[in-house]
Structure 1
Amino acid sequence: MKQHELDTRLQQTLSRGRTTWTRPRGCPDIELCLFDPDCLQHPLNYDEAQAVVDEPAYWSFCWASGQVMAAWLLENPEWVRDRRVLDFGAGSGVVAIAAAMAGAREVLASDLDPTALLATVTNAARNGVEVKPVSDWREGEPPDVLLAADVLYDPENRPMLTDFQTRAPSVLMADSRLSNLGNDDYHLLTTREARTWPDLQEFEEFNRVRLYHAAGY
């Protein structure tokens, strides 16, 4: 039923749009309800393309950095196990779901888009875990660990890096857009390759994901 609701919301932007259950190549242990590229049998017309640009359904794609962070958390569960975790800019919820699967005590997901929060809850249930949606990541009890992936697509978002440190004692950040974060508090943990799912044929440089850790204040 919730997949139908996600389809309905997607079709407000793209009338031909629909979702399908799929496992991103970069984190196949997690199943997500994402955009179905098979629905586009013909190129977008001008009005459709403009609508997609004006109101992008970010939640309907699993971006490269989210896949890398999710896979890394499943491989290194000690970073979130038994901790209260907040996923900032949850999108499809892949990172939040991975944290829950890795044994986090409580997982919160924050996103400006209400449909992204619906997608996150829907995807979490599909994977047998619970994720709590929150509208304001600054409210309530602070998390032990703050997770953020694919949120620096606009360089003007860099001040968020400091904001994250004021909210949690431990911050994990994954990004493929900026080769230099401009914040020496963030230390590189690993670099991995991944592609957005479904594949958007992005520049190769955007498929190289860097994972960082920073201590909070």
Structure 2
Amino acid sequence: MNHAHSLLDQQLQQMLPGSYVRRQHLAACPELQLWLVAPECINRPFSAEEQQRIAAYPAYWAVCWPGGLAMARYILDHPQLVRNKAVLDLGCGSGLVAIAAARAGAKRVIACDLDQQALAACRANAELNQTRQNNNELEFCTNFHRTDGIDIVLAADLLYDHHNHTLLDEFMTISQQVWLSESRAADIQHPAFDHIGQHHYATEPDSGHPDPYATSLLYCSRPGAKQ
């Protein structure tokens, strides 16, 4: 684990020199813990140069966004959603949702992200939470089009860019059961999806500033919906 800790520190310092990760339990999901940026590294003003580096080398995996927290909490509270199913977590980031699915009893969990650094963080976090104890070691990929046999697709905070909404039809080609959790997309207008709930979890770790995106909306595909 020391090696994983060191590797994540190196990755994080590309974005924010001098920063480091710390093993942290989550307020929203206290049964899980993750390697995330240490709160003292972000609970301060950033210089103009630091802001530029953060924009150039964003380490999305180093924090838990509200959408992922809401999705993970929902899965842990409703394990029947994923139990004994093959699950694909798209844009996995830190791996929180994938790890929650494994903990809830999914028979297979694939964590997918375009960012190799995110997948490295996901591996470290999966080991930290001992997902192997459930006989469902996480799998990792960078291209969701190459997955098959998926029962349910989970995607949290992927629709922050309006152009990403076109991905919804692609998700439906992987599985007819798709769940979304969004804190940055105010309203998803798609004929195959229904809004089913609203949850309030702030980004973790706490940066010391108000979180304008703390409310997440949960959606699921309609039974029998066609893409």
Scaled by the length of structure 2, the TM-score of the pair is 0.90
**Could you say which residue in structure 2 is the equivalent of 1:186?**
193
More deviation in 86-95 or 126-135? 126-135
Distance 1:175 1:116 in 2: 19
**Could you say which residue in structure 2 is the equivalent of 1:89?**
91
Which of 5, 9, 26 is 1:3 aligned to? 5
Structure 2 unaligned segments of length 5 or more: list them. 132-136
**Could you say which residue in structure 2 is the equivalent of 1:57?**
59
- Taking a change above 3 Å as real, the CA distance of residues 131 and 180 of structure 1, as seen in their structure-2 partners, is same
In structure 1, give the amino acid aligned to 2:202: R
Distance 1:153 1:60 in 2: 18
Q: Does residue 1:125 correspond to 2:132, yes or no?
A: no
4+ residue runs over 4 A deviation: none
Which of 193, 199, 219 is 1:212 aligned to? 219
Superposed displacement of residue 203, structure 1: 4.6
- Taking a change above 3 Å as real, the CA distance of residues 157 and 42 of structure 1, as seen in their structure-2 partners, is closer
- Taking a change above 3 Å as real, the CA distance of residues 179 and 42 of structure 1, as seen in their structure-2 partners, is closer
Distance 1:41 1:209 in 2: 23
Identity of matched residues, %: 35
Distance 2:93 2:210 in 1: 18
**Could you say which residue in structure 2 is the equivalent of 1:195?**
202
**Could you say which residue in structure 1 is the equivalent of 2:14?**
12
**Could you say which residue in structure 2 is the equivalent of 1:77?**
79
**Could you say which residue in structure 1 is the equivalent of 2:158?**
151
Number of positions where the alignment pairs a residue of Structure 1 with one of Structure 2: 216
- Taking a change above 3 Å as real, the CA distance of residues 154 and 40 of structure 1, as seen in their structure-2 partners, is closer
- Secondary structure (helix, strand or coil) at the match of 2:219 reads strand
- Secondary structure (helix, strand or coil) at the match of 2:46 reads coil
In structure 1, give the amino acid aligned to 2:126: A
Superposed displacement of residue 112, structure 1: 1.0
- Secondary structure (helix, strand or coil) at the match of 2:15 reads coil
Cα deviation code 1:69-94 (max 9, x no counterpart): 10110111111111110000000100
More deviation in 192-201 or 119-128? 192-201
**Could you say which residue in structure 1 is the equivalent of 2:29?**
27
| 8 Å CA contact 2:193, 2:220 repeated in 1 | yes
In structure 2, give the amino acid aligned to 1:36: A
Superposed displacement of residue 167, structure 1: 1.1
Superposed displacement of residue 134, structure 1: 0.5
In structure 2, give the amino acid aligned to 1:98: A
Cα deviation code 1:13-69 (max 9, x no counterpart): 211110001122111111000011213586333322211111110000001010111
Distance 1:14 1:33 in 2: 16
Superposed displacement of residue 8, structure 1: 0.7
Distance 2:55 2:205 in 1: 17
Cα deviation code 1:122-162 (max 9, x no counterpart): 10111110211111111032411000001111111111111
More deviation in 98-107 or 128-137? 128-137
More deviation in 19-28 or 195-204? 195-204
- Secondary structure (helix, strand or coil) at the match of 1:15 reads coil
- Taking a change above 3 Å as real, the CA distance of residues 146 and 202 of structure 1, as seen in their structure-2 partners, is farther
Scaled by the length of structure 1, the TM-score of the pair is 0.94
Structure 1 unaligned segments of length 5 or more: list them. none
